[in-house]
Structure 1
Amino acid sequence: MSEELRDELEAINSIYGDGCLVPSGDTNIYVLKPPGESSSLRIEFPPAYPAVPPVVLGTNSTGEHGKRGDAAREFSLFCQALSTVYEPGAVCLFDAIEELTRLLESEAPDETPDQDNTPEDESHTSPATEKAVYAHDTDTLNIPEPPWVISDPFIEQKSVFVARCAYVSSTEEAEAFVQHLLASDRKVRTATHNITAWRIKGPNNTIFQDCDDDGETAAGGRLLHLMQLMELWNAMVIVTRWYGGHKLGPRRFALINQTARDAFVKAGFVSENPNKKKSTGKS
């Protein structure tokens, strides 16, 4: 196994969950289970990969509800996705999975024209496609555009990090801001991770604080810890990451917090000068 393939195997399973990409038992052949799909794909990675592209050998249904027609369709779309994103010398599986998700989403209205796409259907949505449900909720939010302050983009090895922060006065408002962002911005909604944290002081100094890793294990807790160290209250932050195909290791946590801090500074939550007293936000 090449170093590039080993890194890609670890990255894919860390993003989409263990078991997304596993060896099949045959040399150079792996089984890919695209998130949310009913079929798995058998993929051969030639020894020269990524100088040469992987080869999709076939599919097999993995669930009771899988259908042969679905498997053939997913096979065809993944081959299309792979041919679109592959560039000689660059690993491509993450981009191929994301492109497959985009193709499946674009076909969904034609595939199921009579289904009622209501919020009740969210309980049947897989974790990898759950964010897409928000696309149908824009009209139900009934809130104005959240007053986001946006960080500069931080880019490392093609991974892009952008943070948004805002003043919030309740957990309901924070949750609504998250939903509004995912509903109104497709680029954010389809990002690899949207990591969230907030800290709020309610009536009688009641404290509310929470975080969400969104698949980036421990990242939400680190964001929350950053806010605690900065003594921030009545504030929330969302750090969006678009994976660039290269593992960053522990460095990614520093980039997530650095991006969040940049947004907090721009919003006036904290002074850019570390010798000045920290701000605590609006009460």
Structure 2
Amino acid sequence: MSEELKDEVEAINSIYGDGCLVESPDGQHVYILSPPGEASSLRIEFPPSYPEEPPAVIGTNSSGAQSRKGDAARELALFRQAVGTVFQPGTVCLFDAIEELSRLLEELAPEEPESPIRAGTAAELQDLDHQQQEATELSQPPPWTISDPTIELKSVFVARCAKVSSTEQAAAFVQHLLASDKKIRSATHNITAWRIKGAKGATFQDCDDDGETAAGGRLLHLMQLMDLWDVMVVVTRWYGGHHLGPRRFALINQAARDAFVKAGFVDDSKTSGGSKKGSGK
């Protein structure tokens, strides 16, 4: 197994769960992929030269019920299409192929009927008004500390962090940021995470991927490792037209670390072992 494939197997299983991508017991270089959701398991053969050459999607893994045969054939064809779309010689492609498969399946899914609109109670409407007021009527802009931009293959990552004392304040800071900055509002993703210590020992932590699957959880995990409390972070990504694969998670966390260090929330030695970080490629 090449180092690239070894790293990719580890990344896929860490993102989607152990067992998502496992080596087949009956074939060298053959792996069984169980995509997230209800998609069929697939058999994939990686040539020894991968990632210079694309993987071959050789069939479905026979474990589904009889009624799933039609769906399995469709998903097999869609995954082959996904691999053909995202593969670039020299770059691992499986994560992007899984995401592309999810997108294709979403496009083909029948639309669900809209749920009837439920009128909000007076208390709910009052709470919504309060949240909107906090977002738009802050006496001062949030005290953001902003990272240096990290650029790779034309994708740009910028993080900003701030002290917060409540989940309502954190949500208001995010809303204020989106409402006041058109460039950030139109970015591809705005990934958020926060950790807050409340009264009487209560703790609150949450994250939002904003469409960048698993990114929010990884950002929250970074904050846990750094033991950061009463802090929130927003990492903004502008997509540059090139797939970065699992590498983008490292870039997201790198931008967040830079913001935390600049704000004085953590020593540089705790984020990079004291080594100087590059400014991105």
Q: TM-score, normalised by structure 1?
A: 0.60
Give the equivalent residue in structure 2 for 1:113.
111
The correspondence for 2:205, drawn from 210, 217, 228, is 210
CA 1:20–1:162 in 2, change beyond 3 Å: closer, same or farther? farther
Contact 1:195–1:239 (8 Å) recurs in 2: yes
2-structure distance, mates of 1:253, 1:84: 24
CA 1:115–1:100 in 2, change beyond 3 Å: closer, same or farther? same
Unpaired runs of 5+ in structure 2?
Answer: 118-127, 179-184, 208-214, 269-281
CA 1:6–1:201 in 2, change beyond 3 Å: closer, same or farther? closer
SS in 1 for 2:19: coil
The correspondence for 1:198, drawn from 189, 195, 198, is 195
> Which structure has the greater CA radius of gyration?
2
Q: TM-score, normalised by structure 2?
A: 0.61
Contact 1:60–1:71 (8 Å) recurs in 2: no
Tell me how far 1:186 sits from its aligned partner. 7.9
Contact 2:40–2:64 (8 Å) recurs in 1: yes
CA 1:45–1:197 in 2, change beyond 3 Å: closer, same or farther? same
SS in 2 for 1:80: helix
SS in 1 for 2:58: strand
SS in 1 for 2:104: helix
Indicate the larger mover: 65-74 or 20-29. 65-74
SS in 2 for 1:165: strand
Contact 1:154–1:259 (8 Å) recurs in 2: no
Tell me how far 1:169 sits from its aligned partner. 4.8
2-structure distance, mates of 1:54, 1:185: 35
Unpaired runs of 5+ in structure 1?
Answer: 120-138, 275-283
Structure 2: which amino acid aligns with 1:165?
C
CA RMSD of aligned residues (A): 4.7
The correspondence for 2:149, drawn from 147, 153, 156, is 153
SS in 1 for 2:52: coil
CA 1:68–1:177 in 2, change beyond 3 Å: closer, same or farther? farther
Contact 2:83–2:93 (8 Å) recurs in 1: yes
Deviations, residues 169-227 of structure 1 (Å, cap 9, x unaligned): 5223435767997xx778327xxxx462233666xx9875535584438423035x2x4
Contact 2:194–2:205 (8 Å) recurs in 1: yes
Give the equivalent residue in structure 1 for 2:100.
99
Aligned sequence identity (%): 48
Contact 1:81–1:99 (8 Å) recurs in 2: yes
Tell me how far 1:32 sits from its aligned partner. 0.8
